[in-house]
Structure 1
Amino acid sequence: MRSSNGRTEYPRRVGVVEDHAVTIAGLRQILADEPDVEIVATAASVTELLAVTRELHLVVLDLRLPDGSSPIANVEQLRAAGVETLVLTSGDEPFLVRAAARAGVLGVVRKSERDDVIAAAVCAAAVGELVPSMDWAAAIDSDDSFAEVDLSPRQRDVLSLYASGEPAARVAKLTGLTADTVNAYLGRIRQKYAEAGRPARNKTELFKRALEDGWLPIPRRRR
């Protein structure tokens, strides 16, 4: 984002997507003495934030949000609005970090990092610089062995319903398929995951695979 004279605008406008007021207040305090960045908007979801403003250079994004949205969907939504993303996370759920890394964020920073590390990361990302970290690098490295599974739209529907807890008979009713066809789909889905080296032998494992690939919303955080 540049001014009419072609110079880069400062301070850089930062949005925060986070549902914990304490975290937002802490981030404001960390950045209070940074003249090159300014938090101009906060919200509990990407959709809510973009409804407030799209005039942003960077969004600091938590990975687990109350609307159940996936990191991939959130980063894609921000990129469509022309905004880059820096992830600020507790880091205790590697599959969410991996999903964010796959979506193309500028970096991943733990909330437990020192204040100066977090401040430096936000300032760097606000001008479009990559922010290397062990979590981000590990997520990218592990992605090489994280084989994607190509499911058809119908297979995704069946997986989403079944993995979320619906019995096969109910999935058949909701999708307009026969019970035999649903079971055949589930068998093919399991086979595809097995061939990718990502076992899905039971409903629990199917649930995990559906979460990893974004076919199910992220479970809401317990209060």
Structure 2
Amino acid sequence: MTRVALIDDHESVRLGLEAACARAEMMSVAFSGSTVTEYVDWRALSRQAPADVVVLDLTLGDGTTVTENVRRLVLDGSSVIIHSVADRPAAVREALSAGAAGVVSKSSPIGDVIAAVRTVARGEPLNNVEWASAVEGDRAFADAQLSARERDVLRLYAAGLPLKVVADRLGVAYSTAKENITRIRVKYVEVGRPAPTKIDLLHRAVEDGILVEPAADPGDATRGR
């Protein structure tokens, strides 16, 4: 029996997947919810084993990033399939880099999603069209390889906060935060994705799933350089 967890902040999507899993042989839905935190809390309270496969929405409404969510689930012992509208290839590539087993488009027939779950549950690679499209010509996913601290700095700074406020929130010196921004810009240049301005950094953060969407009007994003 393959135990599946469904994590998507759109209830209608979850209900459709739940019904499909219920019809599938040797498959059951162990959990259905809108955030990874809900799933982790459920695991802790119920003392249930990790789901064999987690079908995860690419972008959740709680402000978490796809990297955070995928890594959390993989470290917990589950395989992860990204269930995405597939219109943000950079974020899909980030999910694959974080350890997701594959991606299935939300436009795919429900039977394809079930087949993907079975494939991943068997430990086989999910080399489908969506996966190929996400990694085509990736040049190592054009990943700037930002550290966890650099990602934290970029998330706050690109959202529109002045650098001094970013430093205060993270408990680091202003000079440290400034050095982080300099290194971030250098790393993006090295992978062919330059970000010389704060607006450019905002675009890179959104492309890479570090920000779900701009938290401030683009006109405000130039403040605090």
Match of 1:3 in 2: none
SS of equivalent residue, structure 1 residue 16: strand
Cα distance in 2 for partners of 1:116, 1:61 equals 17
- Following superposition, the deviation at residue 213 of structure 1 comes to 4.9
Match of 2:212 in 1: 218
- Following superposition, the deviation at residue 212 of structure 1 comes to 4.5
Match of 2:4 in 1: 14
Q: Does 1:203 align with 2:203?
A: no
User: Do the aligned partners of 2:79 and 2:100 also contact (CA within 8 Å) in 1?
Assistant: yes
Deviates more, 1:199-208 or 1:133-142: 133-142
- For 1:24-173, list aligned pairs within 5 A: 24-53=14-43, 54-55=48-49, 56-151=51-146, 155-171=150-166
- Following superposition, the deviation at residue 73 of structure 1 comes to 1.6
Give the aligned residue type for 1:108.
V
Give the aligned residue type for 1:124.
T
Cα distance in 2 for partners of 1:126, 1:151 equals 31
- Following superposition, the deviation at residue 96 of structure 1 comes to 1.6
- TM-score normalized by the length of structure 2: 0.78
Match of 2:185 in 1: 190
- Following superposition, the deviation at residue 61 of structure 1 comes to 0.6
User: Do the aligned partners of 1:12 and 1:127 also contact (CA within 8 Å) in 2?
Assistant: no
- Following superposition, the deviation at residue 151 of structure 1 comes to 4.8
- Following superposition, the deviation at residue 200 of structure 1 comes to 0.3
Cα distance in 1 for partners of 2:163, 2:71 equals 32
Give the aligned residue type for 2:108.
E
Aligned residue-pair number: 207
- In structure 2, relative to structure 1, the CA distance for the partners of 1:125 and 1:195 (3 Å cut) is closer
- Following superposition, the deviation at residue 77 of structure 1 comes to 1.0
Cα distance in 2 for partners of 1:209, 1:183 equals 18
Cα distance in 2 for partners of 1:79, 1:141 equals 24
Unmatched segments (≥5 aa) in structure 1: 1-10
For residues 62-102 of structure 1, what are the alpha-carbon distances to aligned partners after superposition, in whole Å with 9 as ceiling and x for unaligned? 11111122222212111211111111111122122111111
User: Do the aligned partners of 1:36 and 1:123 also contact (CA within 8 Å) in 2?
Assistant: no
- TM-score normalized by the length of structure 1: 0.79
